[in-house]
Amino acid sequence: MPRKPARHRLLRCPPLTFSPFGRSMAVVASINKGRHKVPSSMLRTKDTPSSSGMPFQYTVLVCAAFYFILFLFLFSSQYLQPFEHKCAHLGNGYHHVEDKNEQSDSSDGEGFEGVVQADFAFFDPKPGDFHGVKVLLQTYLGNKQWDLSGFVDLILGQPTVGTVVKIENDEDDAVYSVITALNLGRYQDSKCMIELKGYLLKVCQEKDVLAKLRSFMGEYARDVGLVVSQRVVNLPPQLLPPLYDALFDEVSWATEDEPTKELQNSFRIKFYLIISKIYKHKSVDQIKGPSQSEDDAIIYIKPEDEIFYKLSSWSFSFPFPAQQVTTNELKNYQLTGLVMAVEARKVSAFRKQLHLLIDEE
């Protein structure tokens, strides 16, 4: 299915912050499954069409005082030093993003001054992306043992709705982001989906929400789309609006372009279910009143989750069974799972707010 390039205006993006001390903790720390260094030489590529036939690329220009590392296999969250983004529209589907690290530490003492340019491109998921997507989703349900391979197969088996982000002409063919929407009813008999539903029903401790969750998993399953969005933590935030625009556009197109009526109906989604993670203050449930502000109580690892949460019809959180980060800034915080239900009719509001958030920052 062809992808339609989105238009973008000039972006000026200082560090994203979502709490009073968020500017010093721009991204939350997590498990490092591996690192991928982007060389200091210029990485230039020409416009190359995506697997669906049309180009959708973003050029990222990074200026660092010391050496800059792109983390390939990071999956929960990691705080990086704040940086300043400046984006200029280049035309032909390209954007320049300059990241200036005012202060950067290197554990091995090495460093360089120079320019690193990488062309991020959007592609339809394909079987060859299995390993990269699986690595990104390794902690999707924390340390739970479940049919993750089967879950990845569902994502890759639905190429008309979904996107993977890679660096153009990267020898490793590494996947830096994946986003899709899976209909709960269409895949209700899959082992991975059965296990995922059982997990959510088990961790939901709010009785009033549990009844709604059960209905999503049962009688209304064919109306529910599970939004799966995982990425490396320092993916340029300017890519978020076009990523979500592409997802929701493809869902809309699929209701007309899929080859059978049954498949078309599977994308007539009325509700979206989002499973994500946040950092929640350990005493948020005990402290009441002005002494504990809402900004201090929650740190959103993904900026879009705050918008989803505000637009959600219902939500619940639960302690997340994953390795904890022991930074001083997070010592009073608990890694927490967050599940949200958002009506499909609110997607347009979400898209507008996400664009405003990234543009303003």
The whole-angstrom separation of Cα 128 and Cα 88 is 33
Angle at 118 between CA 55 and CA 301, to 5 degrees: 95
Residues forming beta bridges with residue 86, ordered by sequence position: 12, 98
Q: Which residues of 145-172 are buried (b: 16+ CB within 10 A; e: fewer)?
A: ebbbeebbbbbbebbbbbbbbbbbebee
Question: How far apart are the C-alpha atoms of 330 and 299, rounded to whole Å?
Answer: 10
Distance of CA 110 to the CA centre of its chain: 30
Per-residue model confidence (pLDDT) at position 296: 73
Taking the C-alpha atoms of residue 47 and residue 88, their distance in angstroms, rounded to an integer, is 17
Q: What are the structure tokens assigned to 57, written together?
A: 């690329």
How far is residue 19's CA from residue 333's CA, in Å, rounded to a whole number?
13
Per-residue pLDDT of the chain (361 residues; tens, 9 = 90+): 444 443 322 222 333 333 333 333 433 433 333 333 333 323 332 333 333 444 444 333 333 333 333 433 333 333 333 323 323 222 333 333 444 344 334 344 445 455 567 789 999 999 999 999 999 999 999 999 999 999 999 999 999 999 999 998 888 899 999 999 999 999 999 999 999 999 999 999 999 999 999 999 999 999 999 999 999 988 999 999 999 999 999 999 999 999 999 999 999 999 999 999 999 988 876 544 444 456 678 999 999 999 999 999 999 999 887 565 567 778 888 899 999 999 999 999 999 999 999 998 7
Cα–Cα distance between 14 and 17 in angstroms, integer? 9
What pLDDT score does 339 carry? 98
pTM: 0.71
Give the C-alpha separation, 261 to 336, whole Å. 39
Tokens 């001054």 -> residue: 113
**How many angstroms separate the CA atoms of 345 and 272, rounded?**
10
Measured over the CA atoms of residue 258, residue 265, residue 140 and residue 25, the dihedral's sign is positive
Residue 173 carries which DSSP code? -
Q: Where are the alpha helices (DSSP H) in 258-335?
A: 261-266, 294-297, 303-311
Q: Looking at residue 116, what is its pLDDT?
A: 60
What is the pLDDT at residue 354? 98
What is the pLDDT at residue 1? 43
CA–CA distances in Å: residue 128 to residues 156, 157, 361: 9, 11, 35
pLDDT of the residue at 28: 41
> Where does residue 143 rank: exposed (0-12), middle (13-18), buried (19+ CB within 10 A)?
exposed
pLDDT for 188:
95
Tokens of 33: 């499954």
Which two structure tokens, joined as six digits, stand for 313? 């019809």
Residue 323: per-residue pLDDT: 60
Burial class for 51, CB neighbours closer than 10 Å (0-12, 13-18, 19+): middle
